[in-house]
Structure 1
Amino acid sequence: MDTLRPRTAIVTGAARGLGRAIALELARRGAQLALFDLDLDGVTETAQLIRGSGGEAAAFAVDVSDEQSVRDGVAGVAERLGPPLILVNNAGVLRDDLLFKMPVENWDTIMNVHLRGAFLLSREAQQHMVDHGWGRIVNISSTSALGNAGQANYSAAKAGIQGLTKTLALELGRFGITANAVAPGFTVTDMTRSVAERLGIGFDELVAREAAAVPVRRVGTPEDIAHAVAFFADEASGFVSGQVLYVAGGPRG
């Protein structure tokens, strides 16, 4: 399935969870992977998994919310692996709290990592895509973009990512670049395990509760999300742009 060979893809937040699964899937389809994360040990491990399966990958310690770090990271990718023509903005954190208790720094952290990070990476990578007349930007949103109690910051950032995605599609389409978003429902990751801790319940109990509310009667896996991202990254999806795909086991959006 070398449908992405020999293009270079950047995946942010690739140290674990969704980012790692996305990176492994894109590598399986032939892409060269540039793995961004503050956790250098984690992305180095992801890179080793890819290389162990015969792929090519390099790990970069990048703070997606820092303009200079992003510039240096993208420049390093172009130098080591070639121009990044696929970008997956996946990096994310949680700082959940009810509105009346939410410190402003928790609002700012979420906005900086999710929304500012997607903006900075997209702005930097699009230069290479424009030069080559081809590109794919895939942003990770969430069903929380539709609203979720205790996540005013996260919901706002993920809704903002959808607006950013649609605007990128309008601005960059003439250059052969598509921009789309994947919005996962409840998916088993380290991040969602932290939700169970915040709620004071066992993770298995949380999974069972969430699955009961999903039409297909299960929660998502990182691989579910990775397959959706791979579709948007593919050559064959060139007439699909500005879309938000809810990968949530039922109708959303």
Structure 2
Amino acid sequence: MPLEPLPTAWDLSLERAVPGEDLVGVGADLEPGTLLAAYRAGLFPMGVGRHGGPPMGWWSPDPRGVLLPGDLHVSRSLRRTRSRFETRVDTAFGQVVAGCADPSRPGRWITPAVGGAYARLHELGWAHSVESWQDGRLVGGLYGIAIGGLFAGESMFHHATDASKAALVGLVRLLEAELGDRWLVDVQWHTRHLGSLGVREVPRSRYLQLLGAALQQPLPQVWSGATQEPPTPRMPRGAR
């Protein structure tokens, strides 16, 4: 089981959040207890300075991008390319974060301080990577925070066509296999890229309801150690 860190000293509630505004606070720290309290409250950190540097902002997008049970859309072309990849979990967490933090990527925001904060959460058992491997080489993946039935995705990268999409599909299949339709994947903001996979937008109020339900679910055992995607995942009704 993940190790619970010391509690945060900061007030991370959304009581004074303004509807429609994504940035709800500035400051605090990146200690493990602060980060976990933020995710449990519906927040996540991202620097508001140049290239994601200080000061640290705390965000709760309104509307929020989410992938819900039954919404995943896997195109015919993605089904073909996905068969070329092997899905692994937590075998190269640091490499995945480094791939997402590549300074050549536009809009880079994963600073060394941010990467180090998630590395500490990984050591405690809260942060995880889902990886796409091809011919023994890491070619894409994503990382995020798992709490109960919530997976809060932070970033993804790819060095091969559809490798990051394959990792997201692999993530959903793993959640389906253990939780059926009792999970929530938070992607923060809706984009055209994610929308093609079935991501939708929901108001912040609805997100907080979904979050509350997800946090009540048991933590999938897939996050307890390195594994590969099961060959025959259990599919919820209506999945595509």
TM-score normalised by length of structure 1: 0.29
Q: Which has the higher helix share?
A: 1
Q: Tell me which protein shows more strand as a share of its residues.
A: 2
TM-score (norm 2): 0.30
